Amino acid sequence: MALPSRALSPAPPDPILGLSEAVRSDPRPWKLDLSIGVYVDESGAVPVMGTVLEAERRLAERCDSKGYLPIDGRPAYGTAIRDLLVGPGHEIARSSRSVTVQTPGGTGALRVAADFLVQAGANRTVWLSEPTWPNHPQLFSLAGFEVRSYPYLDDAGRRLDLDRLLGALRSAGRGDVVVLHGACHNPSGVDPDAGAWRSIADVVEERSLLPIVDFAYQGFGRGIREDAEWVDGLARPGLEFLVCSSCSKNFTLYNERVGALTLVAADAARAAAALGHLKIAIRANYSNPPAHGADVVESILRDPPLRGRWEGELAAMRGRIRDNRAALVDALGSAGPAGDWEPLRSQRGMFALLGLNGGQVARLRDEFAIYAVAGGRINVAGLTPSGLPRLVEALRAVTAD
Ligand SMILES: Cc1ncc(COP(=O)(O)O)c(C=O)c1O
């Protein structure tokens, strides 16, 4: 037997992580990497939060076993994540109609959700926003879903087009799966407001859709609780949904692979039954999750002083992203290409979509050593005081003809 021929044809590089390899091999010392979605500080470094280092110090002193975790992870971690998600005392947590399993990152949560739904006989059609995080379509199609998309932005690519979004969801089949970005939409930074979330939940209810909320940036938009505004839209009696959390960004724990999948069912009995099937999906995939990152998160969330410091660190990151956004809009307004840049100021999270075509993104890279993702998605956190004027000048050049 030989490998199948498709395994030997050249595989396309990953649209985002593939760019990191290109940045690394670029010898130009002035290169500016605005591609990958990690928080970088003013010196361009990917920091580790002080509270993470403190929790690790404490854990190192009391680590006495490297035994396997349960398939669904540590129960105390699951509770801590659920409280972070919906707020302690929320009906969703109190009623036991939700279960949370620990997963390797937000991607692990998405994959477990997809496998669980396929295995449980859910509709095999998933609706993704257009645009969306490029890993969504490949993850869901490799899990066995047919991928459809719903429009998300207006023609200028700056604001939510709620009417078109709702229209597309109304055309979905009963029981179809729909992926919603909880906050800090990737790649656009455009989020629904509370009223829009209610309208989305109305259509979800009307069409009996099954939402998966991808919540990879809690705390990067307006605040920990504010970013979970969508919960109020979806937390209706009888409405069931899944939430994929990531601790990569808000705990700077990217390479520890820590996340969670929360399943919210109509009642406690349905949640408990579904948990058994989630465990099968996990066992057949990676068996049980890695411990370290989740132990760090749990230690921080359950220790009030450490938690307070963590919230302060997160607020500082959020504040810097907001300041960078404002500086970007000011610079584009005064020296950038003509355009309606003002909406970028109130968008949320790390990303801004500049609306560039493939040729323009390639020119940014080749002529100016500035790396952006297809469509012109940039990581606003990566803008330094010296990088910002270079970006603005380069944008003027590549959009001139
Ligand atoms: C929208 C979205 N979902 C999920 C993830 C996955 O995060 P993780 O690194 O925790 O797997 C990311 C990471 O970039 C993301 O942007």
Supply the pLDDT for residue 62: 87
Predicted pLDDT at 257: 98
Sign of CA dihedral 376, 377, 380, 384: negative
Q: 327 phi and psi, to 5 degrees?
A: -65, -40
Q: Which of 119, 137, 181 is nearest to 351 (CA)?
A: 181
Closest listed residue to residue 329, CA positions, set 319, 316, 344, 318: 344
Instruction: State the Cα–Cα distance between residues 76 and 384, nearest whole angstrom.
Output: 39
Question: Which segments of the chain have a pLDDT < 50?
Answer: none
133 in active site: yes
Does 259 sit in the ligand 1 pocket, CB within 6 Å? yes
Is 249 considered catalytic here? yes
Mutate to test the pocket of ligand 1, among 186, 217, 245, 258 (most ligand atoms within 8 A of CB): 186
Decide: 215 in ligand 1 pocket, CB within 6 A.
no
Annotated active-site residue in 33, 115, 214, 227: 214
Indicate which residue's Cα is closest to atom 12 of ligand 1: 216
User: Do residues 285 and 111 lie in contact, with contact meaning Cβ atoms separated by under 8 Å?
Assistant: yes
Residue 137 contacts residue 128 (beta carbons within 8 Å): yes
CA–CA distance, 350 with 275 (Å, rounded to integer):
33
Q: What DSSP assignment string belongs to 186-212?
A: TTT-----HHHHHHHHHHHHHTT-EEE
189 within ligand 1 shell (Cβ under 6 A): no
- Domain 52-305, architecture per CATH: 3-Layer(aba) Sandwich (3.40)
Q: Where are the alpha helices (DSSP H) in 25-104?
A: 50-62, 75-86, 91-94
The domain ranges of the chain are 14-49+311-395, 52-305
Model pLDDT for residues 1-24, shown as the tens digit of each residue: 799 999 999 988 887 777 888 899
Which of 33, 115, 127, 249 does the annotation list as catalytic? 249
* Contact between 320 and 381 (Cβ < 8 Å): yes
Answer yes or no: are the C-beta atoms of 295 and 59 closer than 8 Å.
yes
Q: Is 216 in the pocket of ligand 1 (CB under 6 A)?
A: yes
For residue 58, what are its two tokens? Answer: 């404490």
Mutation test of ligand 1: which of 17, 35, 107, 256 has the most ligand atoms closer than 8 Å to its C-beta?
A: 107
Asked if 112 contacts 101 with a C-beta cutoff of 8 angstroms, the reply is yes
Q: Measure the CA–CA gap between 37 and 47, rounded to whole angstroms.
A: 13
Phi first, then psi: give them for residue 393, nearest 5 degrees: -65, -40
Read off φ and ψ for residue 264, nearest 5 degrees: -110, 120
According to DSSP, the residues that pair with 212 across neighbouring strands are 179, 242
CATH, domain range 14-49+311-395:
3.90.1150.10
Ligand 1, atom nearest to 247 Cα: 10
3-state secondary structure at position 71 = coil
Compute and round to an integer the Cα radius of gyration of the chain.
21
Q: Residue 160 has what DSSP assignment? A: B
Pocket test for ligand 1, best of 20, 102, 135, 255 (most atoms within 8 A of CB): 135
- Per-residue burial over 353-378, b if 16 or more Cβ lie within 10 Å, else e, is bbbbeeebbebbbeebbbbbbbbbbb
Q: How far does residue 271's CA lie from ligand 1's centre (Å)?
A: 25
Could you tell me the distance, in angstroms and rounded to a whole number, from the CA of residue 38 to the centre of ligand 1?
Answer: 10
Alpha-carbon distances of 367 from 55, 60, 114, 262, rounded to whole Å: 44, 47, 41, 45
Cβ–ligand 1 distance for 246 under 6 Å, the answer yes
Name the active-site residue from 133, 197, 230, 341: 133
Sequence-ordered strand ranges (E) for 159-291: 177-181, 210-215, 241-246, 259-264
Cα of first residue to Cα of last residue in the chain, in angstroms, is 54
3-state secondary structure of 68: coil
108 CA to centre of ligand 1 in angstroms: 9
Q: Is the CB of 107 under 6 A from ligand 1?
A: yes
Distance 133 CA to ligand 1 centre (A): 8
Whole-Å CA distances, 52 to 49, 58, 65, 225, 293: 5, 10, 20, 21, 9
Q: What strand order describes the sheet that includes 146-151?
A: 98-103, 259-264, 241-246, 210-215, 177-181, 125-130, 146-151
Q: State the pLDDT at residue 401.
A: 67
**Cα 399 to ligand 1 centre (Å):** 30
Number of the ligand 1 atom closest to the C-alpha atom of 257: 10
Candidate from 246, 261, 379 with most ligand 1 atoms within 8 A of CB, to mutate: 246
Q: Where are the alpha helices (DSSP H) in 91-221?
A: 91-94, 105-119, 135-142, 162-170, 194-206
Location of structure tokens 């449980």? 120
Say if residues 107 and 139 touch (Cβ distance below 8 Å): yes
- For residue 109, which atom of ligand 1 is closest to its CA? 11
Task: Determine the pLDDT at residue 94.
Answer: 85
* Ligand 1 mean position, distance from CA 2 (Å): 35
Q: Is the minimum distance from the CB of 37 to ligand 1 under 6 angstroms? A: yes
* Collapsed DSSP state (helix, strand, coil) of residue 159: coil
Residue 391 Cα to ligand 1 middle (Å):
25
How far is 21 from 285, CA to CA, in rounded Å? 27
